[in-house]
Each structure stands twice: as C-alpha cells, then as structure tokens.
Amino acid sequence: MPQRSPSRRRITLADIAQACGVSRATVSLVLSGSPMVGAATRTRVEAEIRRQGYVYNRGAANLRRNTSSSVALVVNDLSNPFFAEFAAGVDEALADAGCVMLLGSTGESVERQRAVLASLVEHGPAGLILSPAEGTSLDDLRQAVGLHTPLLLFNRDVDGADCDFLGTDNVEGARLATAQLIARGHTRIAFYGGHAGSSSCRQRREGYARALADAGLAAEPRWRIECAPTRLQAAAQAGALFARDPAPTAAVCYNDAVALGLMLGLAARGLRAGDDFAVTGFDDIPEAAVSVPPLTTVATDPRARGRQAATMVLARARVPDAPPARVVHPVQLAVRASSASPPPPPSAPPTSPPTP
C-alpha cells in the first residue's frame, strides 16, 4: 500500500521561485544548467535552493518529460551469491548512468514473479532485467511486462521470447571442465546435481556429453546424479556416487553450490576432493577460490555480467526498435586444486568407502 508522505509539505520549485522573485521556469533552467540564465540570477537561485533544502522531484520531471530514471532487476534469490554479485554489477553500471535500481525477487515462483513484475512495471522503469523463474512461459512475460517495457532476459531463456538475452555459454563451460578431467586421465566422470527441468542444466549436461564423446567416452546414465542445486542437498547425495559400480573417479557439478556441498559430503566420508576424487563447479562464486581445497570451476564473472546487462538494457531503452540482441558470454575455466587428483590406476578400481 502506498504510504503517506512525511508531515511537512515538501519544498517545491515554486517555493524557490517565489523566494527569489523569479518564475518557476527560471528555477527549472537553473537546475538543468541551462546557459540561458543570468549569472546573478543563477547564484541567487542556487543559494536559495541550498538554504531551503530543496529536493528535486524526479518523478514529476519524468512524468512531464516522458522519461524514466530507473531500471528494474528481478532475480530468484538475492541470498544466492551469484545473483548478489550480479545485482552489485547492475547497480554499479546504473549508478554510473545516473539511474536508480528497482529490485524484486521471485523465490523461483512463477506466481510471485507475476506479482513482482506487475508492481515494478507500474513504476515505469526504462527497462527490466529478469532472470526468469523456472517454468516461466512466454505468456507469463507478455501478461506481466506488456509491450512497453524493454525486457532483457538473463541466464535462462524463455521459449519464443524475442527480446534481448544475456547468457553464459553453458555448453562450452561444462565441456571445458569435463575435458580438463579427461586430460588428467579420468574416464569415469559423473555429472552431479541440478535437475533436468532447467535449461542451464540441460545445456551443461550437453557440454559434458560432448566432451566425453570427443574423447570417445560414453555418458553413462548411471553417472548422472540429480539433486536440487543447494549445498545441503548436494552434501546429502554424495553417497549416491559410490553406490554405482564402477564408481566414478570425478564429478562435473552443476554449479559451485553443488560442488562445495559434494566436497563436504566427500569429507564426511573421509575423502578429500583433489586428492581422492576430482570435482569441478560452475559460476566461480567468491567462495570457490577460498574453499579447502580451492574449487576448479567455470568463471562467469557475475559482477561483470551485471554491468553488461545494465548497459544492454539502457541501450535498448534508447533504441527500442533495434533487433533483439542475443549475447552468450564466453567462459573461462579456473583450474584449481579440487580437480587435481589423478584417476586411480585401472588395475585397482577404488572400493566404495563405508557409508557413515
């Protein structure tokens, strides 16, 4: 619900104009730095503005000029460091452009997303950056966003949406991670975590399969372990890896949260990532570099992606009719200790460790 404003009437242009004995137009020109106003008048007006503590009402100006000075960002969950970094990047670039950020989160719920989008769009942002909740349909977007707010989809695509898109090269990232394990001699490599519903998980699995195929290895379904992409779920599922026969010697994880969880699960079994089992992640969240052991992962630099997304959406707001931009950002493999372990010699397959 809208809130009442504080008690005392806000100072307006008219107050300043009256106090200086000039018109509101003149004060407005002073504010916009127009050269058409006399130096003496300007000084007088500026002093009065400071004296009265006038604060510009940008909403009113936007209404009159038909402009906007905000951009909306909608993410699934701010407490996910990946999105927090991304939001920090968006904020940086928007602040540089003199824009303000409207933030909403969906908690991965399509209904909440609908409500959040509707509420944000009413505030007239110049553009909207959305990391869509899982299961978002084209209709959900059309309903909520309408056709008047430029939309940039981040991270996940929505079938049929012909708007701007900024994503990560999931296929290539997972391919790089898998190829690195293969280069170290691993042949039994699991794909760990995520679930098939998500397009990014499908793409990462595709890159994984491609690397295996390139090396003449098969992607065995039994080495595909599904779990929710959280650290706790991943830790709890670690045992599943060793229930397979033969057990894998390495795992390409859906993302860093899963990889860090898996490393905890391994530790609980007396195994150490990088020594006894090789692990890779995806995202390169800040924690990855300082975990024990440091996590080999695919770097997406979410903060830089945030800046990029902000730049793209501001550009779109200036040129609404340009054809949609689709940017799939290249990734880099950050090789660290967690993937250092060599596979055991083929003659001595590892025995499953005892389940605690």
Partner DNA sequence: CTGAAAGCGCTTACAG
Closest to 166 (Cα-Cα) out of 68, 310, 315, 320: 310
119 is a site residue for DNA (CB under 7 A): no
Contact letters for a copy of itself, residues 289-308 (x by CB under 8 A): -x-x----------x-----
Give the one residue of 10, 123, 142, 195 binding DNA; rule: CB under 7 A: 10
- d(CA 346, CA 133) in angstroms, rounded, equals 44
Stretch that binds DNA, among 55-63, 208-216, 242-250, 332-340 (CB under 7 A): 55-63
Four-point Cα dihedral 57, 61, 66, 72, nearest 10: -30
Question: What is the spatial distance between Cα 110 and Cα 131, in angstroms, rounded to a whole number?
Answer: 12
56 binds DNA (CB under 7 A): yes
Of 122 and 245, the one with the shorter C-beta distance to a copy of itself is 122
Rule CB under 8 A: say whether 21 interacts with a copy of itself: no
- Contact range with a copy of itself by CB under 8 A, out of 27-35, 41-49, 68-76, 152-160: 68-76
For residues 132 and 141, give the distance between their C-alpha atoms in angstroms, rounded to a whole number. Answer: 9
Tokens representing 43 are 């000084």
What is the CB-side half-sphere exposure of residue 167 using CA atoms within 13 A? 21
Does residue 65 touch a copy of itself according to CB under 8 A? Answer: yes
Q: Which of 51, 195, 222, 318 binds a copy of itself (CB under 8 A)?
A: 318
Q: Which residues pair with 328 in a beta bridge?
A: 167
Residues 322-341 that bind a copy of itself (CB under 8 A): none
What whole-number distance in Å separates Cα of residue 33 and Cα of residue 50?
A: 16
37 binding DNA? (CB under 7 A): yes
Tell me, by CB under 8 A, how many residues bind a copy of itself: 77
Which token pair is 340?
């250092």
Based on its alpha-carbon atoms, the radius of gyration of the chain, rounded to whole angstroms, reads 27
Residue 12 or 199 with smaller CB distance to DNA: 12
234 vs 241 by CB, closer to a copy of itself: 234
For residue 282, give the nearest of 214, 208, 221 by alpha carbon: 208
356 binds, among DNA, a copy of itself, none (CB under 5 to 8 A by kind): none
Strand ordering across the sheet containing 189-192:
224-225, 189-192, 250-253, 278-280
Count CB-CB contacts under 10 A for residue 244. Answer: 16
Residue 154: name the closest of 200, 195, 116 by CA.
Answer: 200
The verdict on 13 binding DNA (CB under 7 A) reads: yes
In whole angstroms, how close is the CB of 144 to DNA at the nearest point? 17
Q: What residues from 211 to 270 belong to the interface with a copy of itself (CB under 8 A)?
A: 231-232, 235, 260-261, 264, 267
Contacts of 176 (CB under 8 A, 6+ apart): 207, 211, 298, 331, 332, 333
Minimum CB separation from a copy of itself for residue 95, in Å?
Answer: 7
Whole-number minimum distance, CB 68 to DNA, in Å? Answer: 12
What's the min distance (Å) between Cβ of 207 and a copy of itself? 27
Residues that bind DNA (CB under 7 A): 9-10, 12-14, 21-26, 28-29, 31-32, 35-41, 56-57, 60-61, 63-66
